[in-house]
Structure formats: structure tokens, C-alpha cells
Structure 1
Amino acid sequence: MHIHILGICGTFMGGVAALAREAGHRVTGCDAGVYPPMSDQLRALGIDLIEGYGVEQLSLQPDLFVIGNVVSRGNPLMEAILDAGLPYTSGPQWLSENVLQGRHVLAVAGTHGKTTTTSMLTWILEFAGLQPGFLVGGVPQNFGVSARLGNTEAASRPATGHPFVIEADEYDTAFFDKRSKFVHYRPRTAILNNLEFDHADIFADLAAIETQFHHLVRTVPASGRLVVNAREEALSRVLERGCWSDVVRFGERRDAPGFRARGEPHAFDVLKAGVLVGRVEWALLGEHNQLNALAAIAAAEHVGVTPQQACEALGQFANVKRRLELKGEVRGITVYDDFAHHPTAIRTTVDGLRRKVGPDSRILAVFEPRSNTMKLGTMKAQLPWSLEEADLAFCHSGGLGWDASEALLEMGDRAVMSDNIDTLVSKIVKAAQPGDHVLCMSNGGFGGVHDKLLNALAQG
């Protein structure tokens, strides 16, 4: 089959393209911006890419158009597809029908930590010899790719099949399907990691997101397992609406039936119902990663991996690119890259770095409010709270519909703004001192700020 993917260079749709190609389909695609690294990855797989959404692409005559959620009505190619009455579907729907059918799907949902937890769980299953398929919204460094089919041989239990781990996003599916992506995946094991308000461009409030999470809960069979963060009130409300599956909780602060940790985030015992079942020692930082680990351990148990084996696997987990990733050190100044963009994720990331460097080293937090939610200013009031552990904060304020200076006013002279990245880099270089740790945070490329910063520091 020949499929043509609209919006192919997004992380999710790029993963769909890679899976389709691995499955033997002819794959082509287009996007508004065709650029590395995704373009290089896709072309290396033999996927032809087209810049833009020109109607001449109809001449490719694919068997099916697969539509990404970046495509909306008014898109010239989409309008031509509709006018011609040609077959089309969404990425999640195609994935459900062509990849996930007959597999034991393990879905990882939550406002934060989806990519990291999905990568942890995938690595645990790989370490245990299960050869899982996966689709992750990042690049797990244990694998070097964001998607693969894994073991697709006929399973002894066709209804459950071999495992496939997927990052389960609550964002909408496509312009013609406003349900969350994750309702298409029909998981047997589902992690509900946390739940906060996000995606203000499509959800009116937290209750609307809770409704979507309950739609996910409704799809998990009675023989399935829900792995739920015990600390999240929003998730408790979701389950109160109805639950038909086994529930295993993690993160409880007392001896309880679920999983909890005892010790520091970088070295901790794992307890189940108060009984020691394993120990994790690794290089990751922050309590959030400790909780992510507990969730992955509980989910892996559902497909037969013992907690002890899961803990051993996590000791060899290499994390995901763009998660406190070291980019370089110049003149004693260390530069990191991180995907954090929601205020809670920013705070968690800064706190994790603070634990690593200690109270006496300076942290310079550099961030851009790039997500749709942050651009709308819905959570601007939380930014000073998210940056409390930073000594200085540098905000790229370009393209915002709100005043970053006003939002960060309570930080006083600790906050610096610029609507130009080159100017922002100059201000960071002027402020930076040997021994400082510069943490760059964005869910995009941030205009190459990391390389610009390292080059500017090298030039003195």
C-alpha cells in the first residue's frame, strides 16, 4: 500500500511513517517545514518528502492519505482531498488498525513524563527479552530511534499478542476527530502518570481533560491493569466516574498495596505492599523520575517482568534525548537542554538540577513559552513559582500575546527578557560566570540557542 502522510515531520507522525515503512508500505509525506533531524531520519528510511501542501500532490495517487493534527480546514491539499472524495484517516486511527491490532498495548498517559516513562517501560521489556514494539515522542538513547514494530510473530495468545508500548497523548486526533489520540489505542495496560490542566487551545478546563482520561479508562478490559499515581486528586476523580479494571497505585507515602520508593531519587529501594522487591541505582535526577520508574515497574509486571528484573534494567537506562541533556561546557560554564515547557515541568527540571549541583552553584534558567497553552498566557502566573530554584531566569518573549515582564515582575532583577534569541544569548553570556549551570528549556528547537550560547561563551 502507498500512504501519503500530511504533517509527517512531527514526532508522532514521523513515528507512524517509520512504522509504516518498516511494515513494508510505500510511504511519502509532506509538511510545512521539512528540515533536520526528522527529515534526515525519514529520508534514511526511503521516505520521499515534499515541502508544503500543494494540491499537485494528488498526482501521487496514494491508496490512503494519513492526516496529522497540524492540518486544518483551509489547507489546500486537504481541501483537494475532500473535494475529490479520496480516502483519508488520522494517524492514531491508522496505527490502531494496522499496528496495534492483536498486540498487548501498554499506553503511557499523563500531563508530564510521558516520553521518559514510555522509554523506561520499553527498555525494561527489551532488557527482559520481550522485543517490544514502541512509538515514543522522543528518542530513547537505549534505542536511538523513536519507533519500531518489535516482535510481530504470531503470539500464543492472539488477543493479547506481543507488547507494544506507546506514548498516549491526550491532544486531539485530527480536525475531523476531536477525541484524544489515546482513545484509539485500546490498551491492556495503561499508566495514568499525572493530570494537570494543559492544552488550553483545545480544552476549556481540567474537567474536560478528566473526561478524556475517563474515555481511556473505559477502553481498558477487565483483565487489564491501570497503573495510577496515588498522589493525583484529578486521577482519583477520573476513577470515581467508573473503573472496570485492576488498579495498581504508585507513589503512596505509606505502606499500601501499591508501589512506593524509599531513598533518594538517584538510589532507592522499591517496595510493593511494604515489601522490598528491588533497588534502583541510576544517573537520573528528581523525584519525578523516581515516580516515573515506579509506574514503569508496575506496568512491566503486568506482562510478566518481575520488579527485581525491572529495577536491574533501569540501572542501565540511558534516558531520552533532551532530558537534562548535557550540550557542552565552556570556560567552566555548563549548558543543558531540556524539553520542559509546562510550569510544573519547568519547576521539576530546575529542582532536579538543583539537587545535582547543590545549593552553592548558580542555575541560569533559559526558557521560551512556546507551547500553545503557554503562548495563550493561561499559566503565566505560575512562572515565578516554577523558577524559584533558579538564580537567574532568561525568557524569550517573542511571539507572545502577553507581557512576560509583567508576568515575571515579582522575580525582580532575577528575570531578564528579550524577544530576540541573539540578544538573549548576549545577555546570558554577560551574566554567566565560571561554575554556572545554564539550563535551556523549550518544546521546540529554541532557534539553536544551545549552539549559539556555547559558541558565544567560547569567544569570551
Structure 2
Amino acid sequence: MNQDILDQVKRIHFIGIGGSGMCPLAEILHHEDFTLTGSDMNESDTLERIRSYGIPVAMGHRAENIGDAQLVVYTAAVKNDNPELLAAEEKGIPTVERSVMLGIVTRRYQNSIAVSGTHGKTTTTAMITQVCIDGGKDPSAIIGGKLPYIGGNGRVGKSHTMICEACEYVDTFLQLTPSISVILNIDADHLDYFGTLENIIKSFHQFSSQTGKALIINGDDPNCLKAVEGLENTTVLTFGMEPHNDYQAQGISDLPKACESFSLLKKGKKISEISLSVPGKHNIYNALAAAATADYLGIDPQTAADSLHRFTGVHRRFEILGQYGGITVADDFAHHPTELTATLTAASQMGFGAVWALFQPHTYSRTYLFLEDFAKALSIPEHVVLSQILAVRETNSYNIYAKDLADKIPNCVCLDTFEEMADYAITHAKPGDLILTLGGGDIYKCANLIVEKYQNLVKK
């Protein structure tokens, strides 16, 4: 796709405009005075936000929705036989997939910051966004989750700074050519596409080579170090807990509720004290990445530390939904064994009576390939309730079932519906316990159901 396409058009139609990656792109282009229209299948908060700008949104996909658009942007979820996509092709209107458009848009900013890694992208992108706002950088941002600080998952700033997530799945991040790239970690995931960890590292190497000014990477992660080997003309800055890093967390101390505080060292010299309000050791790495990025951008270290202390998390990242009769209900996006281990370890250290993990396995391939790792992670909490495996884009050619996982986990039950899972947790949880829903699919609906049931119990 021609980088200058946006200079040649005025009217753009978005298929799936309510998506978390589409909505912020639409906001940015709207504020750049493009005339937008959109369509979607489901009502959502993001659609309300889009309509508040005066952008018309049609419900359902029909050929006539594209109107007199000169360019059509579509999400990766849109199938080839989508009537709007077919209508655009029939009329000779150029079409562009969301990740390609993200690349085009980010190249319009002098300072584009892309946050990559197998785990922690959304939280770290949100942290960097909040720190950049507090540091006076007035950034634009595209975040994969809702950041309460900005009241959404996107922001339009007036500066040349833009922050976005760079997702490795099907190599979509190779559409980007950022000024600054953050690499949080590189782990075996999406093996249905990559096949091997080596192939994932190769993709991250290619992504790193497309970065213009600086790479800010996890120096404690051997795979990250491998990914940037042999790169020239790019500054590489490392962060981590080991002394060899450019930015190091030292003197880590647990705060109540499993939050951490630490001294931030730059080249061995202390530049700030950081006290986090989000739980889990994994968030130390996320905060280090944000602090290192802020320092590279010239933001005062104390300003960054204060901003990170005020950061309270992102939607679906250990999000506390409420307390009912002494029972805490929370929801988290964790769907890979590494993420589950980090989240459940943090939960187990927060002083709850017992942790009830309600997990929805996400894709047959991931469940099959990481079966033992999932079983190990899900052995951390006292109780586990599994749903059936969410197929997403796959068929069950692996002959794997949730029961295969359940059989390997102590105190685990496997249920068919969210209704059954919610009722089971409510019946068995005791005051002081935590009910935590986990997964990358629609398990959040189960969390909402639990909240709703507790609220109805209170009304009675």
C-alpha cells in the first residue's frame, strides 16, 4: 500500500469500526479532518465514542454502507466474502487491512513508539502513554485495552509523538517502522503460525531492524538479546533486574496487596524511587520499560515515577470488578501459561483466603502445545473451574478437550456454560476469597454474570 494514500483521499470507510484497534485509528483520522463512516456487528462503548464525534455507524455489513468512500479499512477478522469488502473491490476502491493502516498512520509521526513482546504489551503501552501525558509530551496513542486515565483505548494528541502496540501474531508488527521499539519479552506463542520459537525470534529481529532510532529491550531475557544481535545504526538500551542492564530495578520490596517498590538505577546510579499500585513482579518489568522510554524521551525521572505510582491498570488486566459479602471479583486477560503464572502468583500473594480461578482455554493449538505448562500454572490457586476450549479461528484437529487439562489440575472442575461456572463459584466461595476469571476470549462475560448475580442477591 502506498504510504501517500492518505494524501490522495478524503473519505474513508471502516469495516468493524468498533474494534479496539480500529476505534483509535478512526479517532486520529477524524481529527486530521478526514470524513469517516463505519459499520459494525455489535453495539459497544467504543461505538458510542465514535458516534460522539459525529461519525455515522451502520449496524450490520451491507454493500451500500461504503457509500462514496475513497478508501476502505477493514479488520483482520473480516472475511473475504464480506459484502462491504466485495463492494469496494467491485467499485475499484482501494482496501487496506488495519495493521497496514496503523503503519501508514504511525509513519506520519516523527516520534513513533511501538511496544512489542509476547506478554505485557497493553499494560506497558498504557503506562508509557500515561507517563508521556504527565511528562508534557501530549502523545497520540493506540492501546489494546481501556486506560481509565484517558477514558478509552485511544488518544489524539497535538505533538509528533505516537504510542502504539506492536503485535507479533501473523507478523502484523512488520507493517511498522517505528522510531523507538520496546521489546518486553519473547516467548513461545502463536506456534500455529510461527511453528518454532526460533521463527518468533527471527520475526522480532526483522521488527528490530525496522526501528529507526532506539531499541529498549528486556536485558534479562536471552531471546530479546538474541533478537537484536548484529543490528547496526540503532541504539540498544536494556532494562531488567540484573546489574548489567542500562536501567535496573534494585532493592525490590513487596508492598501490601503484592505491589512492588524499587530503586531505578541508570548505568548504576539511582535516578528515582518507583512505587507501583498494580500487583505482580511482571509489572516491575513493564514499569522499567516505561521508565526507560520516558528517560530516553527526556521526561524527568521523578515525573515518570510519580506517574507510574498513579497508574492503576488497564481494563481486563487484574481488573477488580467489585466486592460482595467479603468476596472479591476480578477479571484478567491472561491466556498463555507465562501470563497465568504471573497473574496467579500475584493473586496468591495478596492475602485472600482462597483464589478461585475460572479459566477459559483459548484455541486448541495453544491448549495442546502447552498442556503441561497450563496444568502447572493452574495448580497455583486453591480452586480451578474450567470452561470448554474457545475455538477462535481453529477446528479441533488436535483432539484436545478441556477435560484433558482438568485431569492434570488438583481441585479442578470442568463445566459447559458461564452460567454453571458463575453459580459454582458463588455457591462455594467464602468471605475473604477471590474469584478471578481468566482468558483471552469472552470469559469476561462470566465475570459480569457473577457480579450481576451477587448484586441480585444483595437486592433480595
Tell me the TM-score normalised to structure 2 length: 0.89
Q: Of 30, 39, 44, which residue of structure 2 is paired with 1:36?
A: 44
Pair 1:406-2:400 in alignment? no
Return the match for 1:182 from 169, 173, 189. 173
Q: Is the 8 A contact 2:69 2:93 kept in 1?
A: no
| AA partner of residue 280 (structure 1) | I
| Counterpart contact for 2:406–2:414, Cα < 8 Å | no
Distance 1:226 1:98, change over 3 A: closer
Matched residue, 1:262? 251
Residue 380, structure 1, aligned to residue 363, structure 2: no
- Does the 8 A contact of 1:198 with 1:373 survive in 2? no
Cα 1:200–1:430 change in 2 (3 A) is same
Amino acid paired to 2:368 = G
Displacement of 1:399 in angstroms is 4.4
Taking only aligned residues, the RMSD between alpha carbons, in angstroms, comes to 2.2
Partner of 2:78: 71
Q: Distance in 2 between matches of 1:105 and 1:98?
A: 10
Within a 5 Å distance, the mapping from 1:7-406 to structure 2 comes to: 7-31=16-40, 33-58=41-66, 60-152=67-159, 162-172=160-170, 180-221=171-212, 224-254=213-243, 256-264=245-253, 265-357=259-351, 361-370=353-362, 374=366, 377-397=368-388, 399-400=390-391, 401=396, 402-406=400-404
Figure out how many residues of one structure are paired with residues of the other and give that number. 436
Aligned-residue offset at 1:226 = 0.8
Report the CA distance between 1:98 and its aligned residue: 4.0
Q: What is the TM-score when the length of structure 1 is the normalising length?
A: 0.89
- Residue aligned with 1:27, SS: strand
Q: Measure the CA separation in 2 of the matches of 1:94 and 1:457.
A: 43
Distance change >3 Å, CA 150–CA 282, structure 1 → 2? same
1:399–1:26: structure 2 CA closer, same or farther, 3 Å change rule? same
Counterpart of 2:432 in structure 1 is 435
1:132-182 per-position Cα deviation (integer Å, ceiling 9, x unaligned): 111111111211121122124xxxxxxxxx22111111124xxxxxxx332
Q: 1:424 aligns with which of 404, 421, 425?
A: 421
Bigger drift between 88-97 and 4-13 goes to 88-97
Paired residue type of 2:114: A
Supply the distance in 1 between the matched residues of 2:107 and 2:134 (Cα, whole angstroms). Answer: 21
Structure 1: unaligned runs, 5 residues or longer:
153-161, 173-179
Contact 1:199/1:372 (8 A) holds in 2: no
Q: CA deviation at 1:255?
A: 5.0
Q: Which residue of 2 aligns with 1:157?
A: none
Q: Which residue of 2 aligns with 1:156?
A: none
Letter paired with 2:268: G
2: CA distance between counterparts of 1:184 and 1:83?
Answer: 26
Query: What whole-Å deviation, never above 9, does each CA across 1:207-241 have from its counterpart, x for those lacking one?
Result: 222222112111122xx111111122221221225
Deviations for 1:302-342, whole angstroms, at most 9, x for unmatched residues? Answer: 21113333212212223212221111111211101112112
- Deviation, 1:193, is 0.3
Structure 2 residue runs of 5 or longer lacking an equivalent are 1-9, 254-258
Distance 2:421 2:289 in 1: 38
